[in-house]
């Protein structure tokens, strides 16, 4: 009897989550997609809480229901935002249910969110009816007018279209990382209020990602470089190449920076101020080399070697 009641509770709670999701889609549609930009913050949370309580098997059924309703009540852009947000919530809740380390959860959610933002704003921009080249051309025209009015027109030599495109992709990646962080913090706040247990976080410097992620990130990095080096590619091809380059670059550089911190702390100094200064200098002067350091940090066990205490002489 208890098992039957428990199954009924899971099903009714899942149905309620889907109903709330459908209501949000209807309100968003009736208000002219006014709430669409807030989906990345709101939609993952009910799914995350439900999956944290009942694990991914029941969460997957709710995810399928959400996906179906997004096709019924949403447009093309709404479908992508809704499905990607629900997927982030499913992954988030599964990790909480499986007692995954919170530091690992944070990184995974931020990476998922960054990838989702880059795909929606860069790779699928033409399908969403957004012309990136035209917008960047208008931006360049405004910058040219502003710099010429202030007598600094020569600075426009640095603001080429390729440079503006890279800035755009990087800004989208940073926005996605920030969105992932906000979703993570809001999710933990709600789960603690609902008395859902979450593991204590492991320090960031002790976090070690799966080795396969380093290989995937390096592959994306070189695939992006190869795509950007092609002559006269299509806009969609260029956007995808830039997205791959940014994802691979930032993922590897992030762990490359952690490698620099551990190296300085182990072999040079334990002063936090000096570690911060040297790490910033390393990023400013050797950012391209940090990609390969991050690859070694993830894939070839450099992380474990740097954490091993230095042998006394």
Local confidence band at 215 (pLDDT 50, 70, 90 cut-offs): very high
Task: Name the nearest CA neighbour of 302 among 237, 258, 241.
Answer: 258
DSSP one-letter code for 119:
I
Residue 143 pLDDT exceeds 80: no
Please tell me the distance from the alpha carbon of residue 265 to that of residue 204, in angstroms, as a whole number. 14
What's the predicted TM-score (pTM) here? Answer: 0.71
Query: Where do we find the tokens 């947000």?
Result: 85
Please tell me the distance from the alpha carbon of residue 48 to that of residue 67, in angstroms, as a whole number. 15
Local confidence band at 155 (pLDDT 50, 70, 90 cut-offs): low
Local confidence band at 147 (pLDDT 50, 70, 90 cut-offs): low
Burial (CB count <10 Å: 0-12, 13-18, 19+), residue 195:
exposed
Query: Where do we find the tokens 């200064």?
Result: 277
- pLDDT average, residue stretch 1-19: 75
Please tell me the distance from the alpha carbon of residue 11 to that of residue 181, in angstroms, as a whole number. 30
Q: What percent of the chain has pLDDT over 70?
A: 83
Please tell me the distance from the alpha carbon of residue 46 to that of residue 246, in angstroms, as a whole number. 30
> What tokens were used for 184?
């993570």
Crossing angle, helix 44-73 and helix 2-30, to 10 degrees?
Answer: 60
173-183 per-position pLDDT tens digit? 888 888 888 88
Distances (CA, A) of 125 to 69, 162, 223, 235: 23, 17, 20, 10
Sign, Cα dihedral of 282, 286, 288, 293? negative
Max avg pLDDT among 19-28, 52-61, 151-160, 172-181: 52-61
Query: Where do we find the tokens 């019924």?
Result: 72
How many CB atoms are closer than 10 A to CB 205?
15
Distances (CA, A) of 278 to 40, 249, 283, 294: 36, 20, 9, 17
Local confidence band at 1 (pLDDT 50, 70, 90 cut-offs): very low
């Amino acid at each position: 009897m208890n098992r039957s009641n428990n199954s009924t509770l899971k099903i009714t709670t899942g149905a309620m989550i889907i109903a709330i999701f459908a209501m949000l889609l209807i309100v968003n549609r009736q208000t002219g997609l006014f709430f669409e930009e807030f989906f990345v913050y709101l939609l993952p949370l009910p799914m995350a809480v439900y999956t944290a309580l009942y694990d991914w098997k029941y969460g997957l059924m709710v995810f399928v229901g959400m996906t179906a309703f997004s096709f019924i009540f949403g447009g093309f852009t709404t479908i992508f935002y809704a499905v990607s947000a629900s997927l982030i919530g499913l992954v988030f809740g599964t990790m909480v249910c499986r007692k995954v380390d919170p530091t690992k959860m944070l990184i995974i959610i931020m990476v998922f969110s960054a990838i989702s933002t880059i795909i929606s704003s860069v790779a699928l921009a033409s399908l969403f009816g957004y012309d990136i080249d035209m917008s960047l051309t208008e931006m360049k025209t405004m910058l040219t007018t502003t710099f010429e009015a202030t007598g600094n027109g020569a600075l426009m030599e640095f603001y080429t279209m390729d440079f503006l495109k890279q800035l755009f992709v990087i800004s989208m990646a940073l926005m996605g990382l920030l969105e992932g962080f906000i979703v993570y913090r809001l999710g933990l706040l709600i789960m603690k209020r609902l008395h859902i247990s979450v593991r204590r976080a492991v320090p960031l410097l002790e976090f070690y990602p799966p080795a396969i992620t380093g290989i995937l990130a390096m592959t994306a990095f070189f695939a992006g470089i190869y795509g950007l080096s092609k002559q006269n590619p299509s806009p969609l091809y260029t956007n995808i190449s830039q997205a791959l380059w940014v994802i691979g670059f930032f993922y590897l550089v992030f762990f490359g920076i952690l490698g620099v911190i551990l190296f300085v702390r182990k072999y040079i100094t334990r002063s936090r101020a000096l570690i911060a200064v040297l790490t910033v200098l390393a990023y400013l002067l050797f950012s391209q080399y940090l990609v390969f350091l991050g690859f070694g940090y993830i894939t070839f066990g450099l992380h474990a070697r740097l954490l091993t205490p230095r042998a006394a002489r």
